[in-house]
A and B are shown apart, each in its own frame.
Chain A
């Protein structure tokens, strides 16, 4: 008797829930169809209403302000922020999982620049009609290029990033040397500064050489800075060249000669920044975020006010940075794509980007902001950063980017740690990339 009753109760509960689920899925299905159909028909972004913005953990603290600015103007099309983990790998994993379930729970995706190809090729993000984004021309062209896959636009750049050469202005001034524009000049500057009694033990240069994405960035910069390429304009790998070898040798010889300290093989951004802030490095390649932290006068930095930034040096002239940054894209399975497109336009607008730079010092993509006198006063690195980003090169735009970057790291790490001769490392990388990219 008791059994039966509980069974009956359970059955009712089950029926109700499944009914609700059916209803919900029916609704979802309808909306999804209309939205998806619109997307497939050639970029008609239809539907208005509330949307979700999926982004990595906001370490800047300013995202809420930005989204609130939108929400107060668009009460019927509210944006909810769905905060993903801080680790880029986990953000990507969650976005992919969401896409594979064809879920509409993420509308706008905040993509790392290197993910564009993968998300576009899998049709996880909607192609964006360029005529609906008239401001694209006012963004730095190199950043817009990161949102494209096979010449079609899939994402709009909102923040950018470029490498900068941080240097100890106090020591360079004392030794009477100008900030270097080439690697040779940098070595000379080191020798001269080390001749000073107070800088006897300072290390010359470090970037990020631990085996992770940062190594791909630094390796590419060395190769591009010597006039070589990892993957050419035609999308084919071409890394087994004399130019690339010269670039890689700058790093390999740097480690051998002690110009780069041995510990740098374990440096990600943060350990490198700490070494620079402790006053152990004369030159340091890092991103713009270091500027504010190294200038803190609360005692965390020993070099506040004693450093400056310059564009990266190269073999024969100015170096080439690797392009970082984040682009906003619309999930293929999202509802309310018209709202999503408007939100992207809003977030990439001059006004919003300016507000964001003022608060977070994240590099904007809006070109004219770099020439704003007030901003330049607040952030003296904007001029070198603009130069860095304008001439910056994207990392390979390939669907299997994860495999490509792993192969690059493998080759670079082998060469830097001395287990593979540089020439062999590049030849091996060329073979590996050829099989990976033609697939």
Chain B
């Protein structure tokens, strides 16, 4: 971080400018050459599928049957018809319902997970006997594949399952209504709060003890310390964790699909709609749903980064900032350090 800042802030030297440019060009070319394998792989596994899905969403195929009962082959260009169909009539209602569910799950689950995750991190950070056992046990849910945890929770939430036995109720969790929504939220929070806990813990470990000592000397209460020191210093790591969770939860699929089941209005999400269309070999509409979800995720991520300044891009953002506001100079050293530490913590944590 400090190195990149130094580069950015170095005043442009008047003398030897020509030489320096050639040097830069040379390293640039070498950098491009060295990066090209990575870029090619990225183009193949990221750009190509996205473009291919976009193209697919403009076509339809195999939807009509000829007189002798055979499906007419070949795909047909339909422009934006697949998108128009999503927003019209019954499908439109279904789409907006799924859109609402997706958003609701994202907001609720991420809020709960953040609160629990931070609490977990604070517990895991404390030095006490048996800390490693606590750490390991908190991380177990995160290590279980989602579908397996969905099956576990399905077993807990079945009519004669553990949930009803413990609560002394006869709730039918997998039926339409608040209960199925609640079951998905519980299962998702259980599974992914440890993820936030893990990233926040990594952030916590980089906060130097001196800061806390200073707070103690100043007579700050534990709550004040948490609010004024821990939270701001752990914020960069926390924001990255929250961003990851938001992006993840926006495409939530396996939990509602396995735990509650397909075609259940209460928990139907955008990913499920895309899956169901693809499963009926209607790849055009499925691609259209997937594209809409992709755009939604992209917009949310963009807004999140803009509003909260999550330091996902690391020093690139930092560089821009420091370039923009040179007179205001750089952010307080504590925050900059915190963000750098947060990023390195994330790296090691993941």
Contact = CB atoms under 8 A, between A and B. Distances in A.
Contacts of B69: 120-121, 149-150, 399
B327 to A, nearest CB: 46
Given A210-B261, A417-B176, A275 B62 contact: no
A275 B160 contact: yes
Given A121-B71, A123-B70, A402 B172 contact: no
A20 to B, nearest CB: 21
Interface residues of B, number: 25
A266 B174 contact: yes
A417 B63 contact: no
Nearest to A403: B280
B281 interface: yes
A211 interface: yes
Contacts of A287: none
A89 interface: yes
Given A121-B71, A399-B71, A265 B261 contact: no
Nearest to A93: B279
A410 interface: yes
B159 interface: yes
26 contacts: A89-B279, A93-B279, A121-B65, A121-B69, A121-B70, A121-B71, A150-B68, A210-B261, A211-B261, A211-B262, A212-B261, A263-B159, A263-B170, A263-B172, A266-B159, A266-B173, A266-B175, A271-B160, A274-B160, A399-B65, A399-B69, A406-B263, A410-B263, A417-B175, A417-B176, A439-B64
A144 B284 CA distance: 35
A439 B159 contact: no
Contacts of B262: 211-212
A198 B71 CA distance: 59
Interface in A403-439: 403, 406, 409-410, 417, 419, 439
A122 interface: yes
Contacts of B175: 265-266, 417
Contacts, number: 61
A121 B63 CA distance: 11
Residue from B64, B173, B262 with most neighbouring chain A CB atoms (10 Å): B262
A409 B159 CA distance: 20
A96 interface: yes
A402 B160 CA distance: 30
Q: Mostly helix, strand, loop or mixed at chain B's interface?
A: loop
Nearest to A124: B71
Given A121-B70, A210-B174, A406-B276, 14 more contacts: A122-B70, A210-B261, A211-B261, A211-B263, A212-B261, A262-B170, A262-B172, A263-B160, A265-B172, A266-B158, A266-B173, A417-B176, A419-B176, A439-B63
B264 interface: yes
Interface in B150-208: 158-160, 170, 172-176
Sort A-B residue pairs by CB-CB distance and give the 9 closest, nearest first. A263-B159, A150-B69, A402-B280, A122-B71, A121-B71, A266-B174, A266-B159, A266-B172, A121-B70
A191 to B, nearest CB: 23
Contacts of A263: 159-160, 170, 172
A236 interface: no
Contacts of B264: 211
Interface in A81-118: 89, 93, 96
A256 interface: no
Nearest to B173: A266
Contacts of A267: 159
A302 interface: no
Contacts of B176: 417, 419
A400 interface: yes
Contacts of B174: 210, 266
Contacts of B160: 263, 271, 274-275
Interface in A198-220: 210-212
A266 B281 CA distance: 28
Contacts of B276: 406
Contacts of A150: 68-69
B335 to A, nearest CB: 43
Interface in A254-277: 262-263, 265-267, 271, 274-275
A388 to B, nearest CB: 27
Contacts of B263: 211, 406, 409-410
